[in-house]
Amino acid sequence: MTGTPLQTGFTFYYMRRSKKGNAALDGDAKTSLTDKASFTDAVKPIGTCRTVEEFWSIYNYLIRPHELPATTDYHFFREGVNPTWEDPYNSNGGRWTIRLPKRGLIGSRYWEEVLLSLLGGFPDVPDGEICGAVISVRGHEDVLSIWNKTSNNQRVVGRIKDGLKKLLRLPASAPMRYHNHPRN
């Protein structure tokens, strides 16, 4: 491996949902997302980066979230961790969500800030606790989610929230919501 190694590898994924929200667009065909297998099939890997240079070689060619069509998701997860609730790495975890208004480049800027923070290690959060991040582009808002491994550790969950607010320079009153992943 040549280049500046990352602490851990990450994989970019892409998914495009139909406007009805329960189907993925796969070329011209729609795939139902009502079961785990269909969802997993709808999430397409873009590429994996293990060095800073590989990250930029992928990221620089991606369309920025503010330019994506509505009902599109980008996922950025630790290498080997699938962006699904059922993945063993995610199954006992949850996610912080921030709903972002469609104002200028805010979704794209926050997405980039979160990605860079994940590459360098999220401050005050144990290594391996953050599983990944998702930006969901919707018609009237974007939804930014940070997934973590352990939802029952309130101290760590709180540190992630505080770290996000600091990283994104959000006011203390910024609406953020934590969701536990559904258990099998």
**Residue 24, pLDDT score:** 52
pLDDT range class, residue 94, cuts 50, 70, 90: very high
Residue 108 confidence (pLDDT) above 70 = yes
Tell me how far apart the alpha carbons of residues 60 and 29 are, in angstroms, rounded to a whole number: 28
Indicate the average pLDDT of the chain. 89
- pLDDT: is 13 or 173 the higher one? 13
In the chain, the number of structural domains is 1
pTM of the predicted structure, to 2 decimals: 0.89
Instruction: Quickly state the pLDDT bin for 19 (edges 50, 70, 90).
Output: low
pLDDT computed for residue 28 by the predictor: 37
Tally of CA atoms within 13 A in the half-sphere of 93 that contains its CB: 26
Name the least confident of 31-45, 92-106, 132-146.
31-45
What is the extent of the structural domain holding 34? Answer: 5-180
Closest CA to 145 of 99, 90, 92: 99
Phi, psi of 162 (to 5 degrees): -60, -40
Beta pairing partners, 30: 25
Give the mean pLDDT of 175-179. Answer: 95
The answer to whether 147 touches 141, Cβ cutoff 8 Å, is no
Confidence of residue 1 (pLDDT cuts 50, 70, 90): low
Long-range (24+ apart) CB contacts under 8 A made by 172-179 are 174/98, 175/98, 175/99, 176/96, 176/97, 176/98, 177/96, 177/97, 178/94, 178/95, 178/96, 178/97, 178/151, 179/94, 179/95, 179/97
Burial (CB count within 10 angstroms: exposed 0-12, middle 13-18, buried 19+), residue 80? exposed
CATH number of the domain where residue 72 is located: 3.30.760.10
